[in-house]
Structure 1
Amino acid sequence: MSLHLTLIGIGTGNSEHLTLQAIRAINRQDLILIPQKGEGKADLADLRRTICDEVLTNTTTQVVMFDLPVRDEATLDYRRRVDDWHDAIAVAWQRAMAYHAGAQKVALLVWGDPSLYDSTLRIAARLNPAPVLEVIPGITSLHALTAAHAIALNEIGAPFVVTTGRRLRDEGWPPGVDTAVVMLDSGGAFATLDPAGIEIWWGAYVGMPQQIICAGRLAEVGSKIIALRAEARAQHGWIMDIYILRRRVMTGGQTWG
């Protein structure tokens, strides 16, 4: 029989973000794999285990931890080191599944949703033989952020772009839009922008009990956000944050200061 691999979007760590479809999928599995990312990110594995403890009622399902390879930051080419890392993760998946060869239905619990700035689907494509793949959508950190701030993501009829902190830092404001969602920021990429006319809605650990949010004019709250981020990272040993930037353009193409 072919391996059936299910990638289950679990939202941002809050079990109430799980859909009924996700809960049913969790309970169909023979094996659920939970990655361990090192001591600094033990909370992420613990949250996945907590979700299983809360919703898993199938007593035959095994929940198994496995070590996630560390990305080699010494390689200069970004794409090369990411590809090598994904290759290594695929090997780790197959090794973990090989220890439980009788499991035909295997799942991974994916933070947020497997389709948005997540590489689980690309890693699954590396498996040989290829499994039968099923994807269960989940609430993303972007949706958790807009809900936390009670705002709409886009202006009426206006586009927006989702980008990374690295691209914002290297390339500046994305062309053609006045709203930018920034993910995977190693810290404070917004500080490289001229803050005039820019608002920010920021959040860390959105959807989790330790959620922190801050919003306002970038010129006024940018330094506060950087301090909040540093404090939270020191306290928890890791941080996941996301923010929305919006330029306010007045008549004549000018921005407010």
Structure 2
Amino acid sequence: MIDLHLIGIGTGNPDHLTRAAIAAMNAADLILLPRKGDAKSDLIDLRRTICADVLTGATRVVEFDLPERDAAAPYLSAVEQWHDAIAVAWRDEIARHLPNGGGLALLVWGDPSLYDSTLRIADRLRADGLAMTVTVEPGITSLQALTAAHALPLNTVGAPVLITTGRRLRAGGWPTGVDTIAVMLDGDCAFQTLDPRGIGIWWGAYLGMEQQTLIAGPLDDVAGEIVQARASLRMRHGWIMDIYLLRRPGLVDRLGLP
């Protein structure tokens, strides 16, 4: 039996760890850290730092190479194949390092519940017959870190919020029935496809990390600035994680929008 603990580690600041997360890390027999290539070395360096800071017992820390997604294949099928490959990598590491079972912890960027597939990958292993329990220790999401960094409420009074991806925003435009949209996983700055009039944007990259960068303002004023900043930061660091919130009239009034 494998007792799998998925631990949300926040968005780059070790102080985002909860006491429950620290306890789960120390109770585990093994922590697996994924290597994602030299361009994202900051990510595994952060996980190494967290482990060095909070582990006080005999928990083993093992690094493994994470399979890469085929960027040339159709998106949904590529993601399915990628998740299958990650599940195989997990199974191989479990067989190698926990052959008789035990406690396994994985450190999940942000929180395992929000636009993260760790839980779905764990389901693959259980469906394949691996005896496994799954426990989640929640973490600070990028959405929480964004609104906190901008000192911005997520919602307007009595109004809904939509959390979506850049791919869907680009394909469908502004959805009906909402005045606030949080956009994740947007590698192409899909906000450029919108009519910017009356829209405010709050953008953040590397939230919680030393490289944190924030830009906010009327979309028609700052869209170009965000595009340039994003490209420059990605070139400088070799990778980027960013998220933004879009809002139509309401709280955007404080930005001076019509």
Bin the TM-score by the shorter chain: over 0.9
1:116 to 114, 117, 124: 114
Q: Deviations over 1:6-50 (max 9, x none)?
A: 100000121100001001111001000000111111111111111
**Distance in 1 of aligned mates of 2:183 and 2:247:** 11
Deviation at 1:187, TM superposition (A): 2.7
Tell me the TM-score normalised to structure 2 length.
0.94
Aligned residues: 249
Equivalent residue runs for 1:40-79 within 5 Å: 40-58=39-57, 60-76=58-74, 78-79=75-76
- The equivalent of 1:16 in structure 2 is 15
Read off the aligned partner of 1:9 and give its amino acid letter: G
2:77 to 50, 61, 80: 80
CA contact (8 A) 1:11 1:139 kept: yes
**Distance in 2 of aligned mates of 1:102 and 1:37:** 28
CA separation of 1:148 and 1:89: change in aligned 2, threshold 3 A: same
- Are residues 1:177 and 2:174 paired? no
**Distance in 2 of aligned mates of 1:10 and 1:112:** 6
Read off the aligned partner of 1:181 and give its amino acid letter: A
Percent identical across equivalent pairs?
A: 62
**Distance in 2 of aligned mates of 1:73 and 1:15:** 31
Q: Deviations over 1:86-106 (max 9, x none)?
A: 010000001111111245100
- The equivalent of 2:253 in structure 1 is none
**Distance in 2 of aligned mates of 1:107 and 1:71:** 23
- The equivalent of 2:193 in structure 1 is 192
CA contact (8 A) 1:10 1:111 kept: yes
CA contact (8 A) 1:4 1:132 kept: yes
Tell me the TM-score normalised to structure 1 length.
0.94
**Distance in 2 of aligned mates of 1:240 and 1:223:** 18
- Are residues 1:25 and 2:15 paired? no
- The equivalent of 1:253 in structure 2 is none
- The equivalent of 2:167 in structure 1 is 166
Q: Report the structure, 1 or 2, having the larger helix content.
A: 2
Task: Give structure 1 stretches of 5+ with no counterpart.
Answer: 250-255
**Distance in 1 of aligned mates of 2:131 and 2:162:** 33
Q: Deviations over 1:40-76 (max 9, x none)?
A: 1111111111111111111x11111001111112322
CA contact (8 A) 1:30 1:103 kept: no
Deviation at 1:241, TM superposition (A): 0.1
Deviation at 1:247, TM superposition (A): 0.8
CA contact (8 A) 1:31 1:103 kept: no
Task: Give structure 2 stretches of 5+ with no counterpart.
Answer: 251-256
**Distance in 2 of aligned mates of 1:84 and 1:6:** 24
- The equivalent of 1:6 in structure 2 is 5
Read off the aligned partner of 1:33 and give its amino acid letter: L
